[in-house]
Amino acid sequence: MTIPPLSVDLLIFDLDGTLVDTRQDLTNSVNFVRKNFGLSELPLVEVMRYVGDGVHKLMERTLQSNDPNLIEEAIRIFASHYREHCLDFSTLCDGASEILDHFREKKMAVISNKPDEFTLAILKGLLIDHYFKIILGGDSQPELKPSPAPILHISQKLEVVPERAVIVGDGTTDIESGKRAVIHTCAVTFGYRSREILAQSQPEFIIENLNELKYILL
């Protein structure tokens, strides 16, 4: 049986691994931090396991430490390096330009756990910031995903009821955030988490390319 497309008024996108492939730039900045502390480099695949819960958690995982002074210094070093290099290798994910243009008449937003400064710099640098009514980075709201707070803030601001909104992301935090906000959820498999891990979060949809959104959303 064919499932009819879901009619929505608001599309909320994650950034890293969903709209933009930021893997190499993140890995380079993480390894710059480790080098400053006399540690060996980490492979990209390991760094990606640490990404998704904000820069503070990223540094804790990078250094395997909860020392607040150490983490504060690591964040400072990371931010200084990433500020200069966040667009060295980062590119739009396949289908991102096409899908944003396809839904340009809809309300769209970005919610990232990445700090505001870098979220905005990447979206502007890749010339897609104009598609979004609201862009929330990790310091825009008191709570990060998987809290539903950022989604609820956007849906209230844009006056969209939950059943008319969907979140698209590559992480379990995106799916959990969407479920807790009682909106529709769509996971993408080309990002930083495997299909198996994403499936455990039980999103409503799982897609392999952003262009598939044309066929599941109206």
Q: How many residues does the chain have?
A: 218
* List 9, 14, 25, 67, catalytic entry: 14
Catalytic (active site) residue 129: no
Is the Cα dihedral 21, 39, 137, 122 positive or negative? negative
Give the residue numbers marked as catalytic: 14
